[in-house]
Amino acid sequence: MLERRIPIRDSVFAKLVAIMIVLAVTLILMVSLFFWFVLTRDLHSMIRKDIAHDGLLIMLAVVILVIVVVAHAFLRHLLRPLRELSDGVVRLGDGALDVQVARRTPDEFGALADAFNSMVGKVRGMIGSRDQLLIDVSHELRSPLTRMKVALELLPNDQHRARLSADVAEMERMVTELLELERLRNGRGLELARVDLVSLVAEVAEQQRGRQPALRVTSNQSEILVTADGQKVRTVLRNLFDNAIAYSLPDSGPIEVTLESDSSGVRVKVTDDGIGLPASELDRLFEPFYRVDRSRSKETGGYGLGLAMCKRIVEAHGGSIRVEALAPRGCRFTLDFPRPD
């Protein structure tokens, strides 16, 4: 890629030099004008010398203040593209792949905005290609999986067949979840209705009865209505509860599930007292196939699609999900849902 050269007259350096020259000339002219005014008056007959001295100091202070205010306003205007670029970087880091920075000037900041927009487009393209590859592979896997299931029915009903059937079922679940991830993109694939979130959480928590540690559900209201796909929200809650239980320790306390509703929205928090999460892993926890445990053993969890599914479902509802590590151990998942219209 060829480097695009910025003409000297359009560069940020030229603008800074120009404003410095203008401010310096303005200061010199105003000070010269003041001294000319003072020297052409008979100060001994009009005012006392100490008043003239105070007036001079006040005039100089006013001149300096005006110069500082003008310079500050100009620099804010000059650095506005840089602030917008910084905001764009933050939004990109938060996952907004549609972010674009306006090119407002023909200088280096304008070239930087073009480079940033080009980078965002390439990142969006690479992620789109990756997602499309996963979807294409998932579709192609369905046919051989179906043939394998048919072939398994012809095998003797023994331990070997049971293990193969379990492996095929796991692969089928993985393919189904991958296709569901794509179906939920941009809010598609939802069957929305008015749902009481308090009852929904209590129902899913009841399904975990008998497992340790126990779940303790609290709410600041007896009924919290949201517009949601109840079955999809059940999937999110079930995944979070299963993870909290699976990664608890023998001496872990109850898993706290709290529901809060106010004018800003609806919030569900799932707080556990388990082994916790390293701070370095939090940013990637919701990526498909990402697991904190690199061994990918079946005894330590699934294949890394559960939390990715949770994120896609919550965002399809117009909400958000985040995780934080707690001290000295444990972690907290927070779900935010918009209030119903």
Which of 99-108, 110-119, 156-165, 300-309 is predicted least confidently?
300-309
Q: What CA–CA distance (Å, rounded) separates 109 from 126?
A: 26
Of 109, 128, 157, the position where a domain reaches its end is 109
Omega before residue 213 within 30° of 0, cis: yes
- Separation of alpha carbons 303 and 291, rounded Å: 7
Q: Does residue 201 share a domain with residue 333? A: yes
> Total domain count for the chain?
2
Asked whether residue 235 is domain-assigned, the answer is yes
Q: Which residue has the tokens 């934080």?
A: 324
Amino acid at 118: S
Whether residue 217 is contained in a domain is answered as yes
Considering the domain boundaries, does residue 330 fall inside one?
yes
141 in any annotated domain: no
| 256-313: pLDDT as tens digits | 999 998 888 899 999 999 888 887 788 788 887 777 655 444 554 566 778 888 998 9
Q: Is residue 150 part of a domain?
A: no
Q: Specify the CATH number for the domain of residue 216.
A: 3.30.565.10
Regarding whether 200 and 331 lie in a shared domain, the answer is: yes
For β-strands 255-262 and 215-219, DSSP reports them as parallel
Query: How much is the CA Rg of the chain, to the nearest whole Å?
Result: 32
Query: Among residues 109, 140, 169, which one ends one of the domains?
Result: 109
* 103 and 208 housed in the same domain: no
Taking the chain, what is the end-to-end CA distance rounded to the nearest angstrom? 50
Question: What does the mean pLDDT of the chain come to?
Answer: 79
Q: How far is CA 198 from CA 61, 236, 268, in A?
A: 64, 14, 10
What residues make up the domain containing 255? Answer: 191-337
Is 185 among the domain residues? no
- What single-letter amino acid sits at 255? I
| CA separation for the pair 109, 118 (Å, rounded) | 14
pTM exceeds 0.85, yes or no: no
| Interval 329-333 mean pLDDT | 92
In a domain, 163, yes or no: no
Contact 295, 233 (CB under 8 A): no
Looking at the predicted structure, is the pLDDT value of residue 184 above 80?
no
Considering 109, 124, 150, which residue would you say is the last residue of a domain? 109
For residues 196 and 291, state if they share a domain.
yes
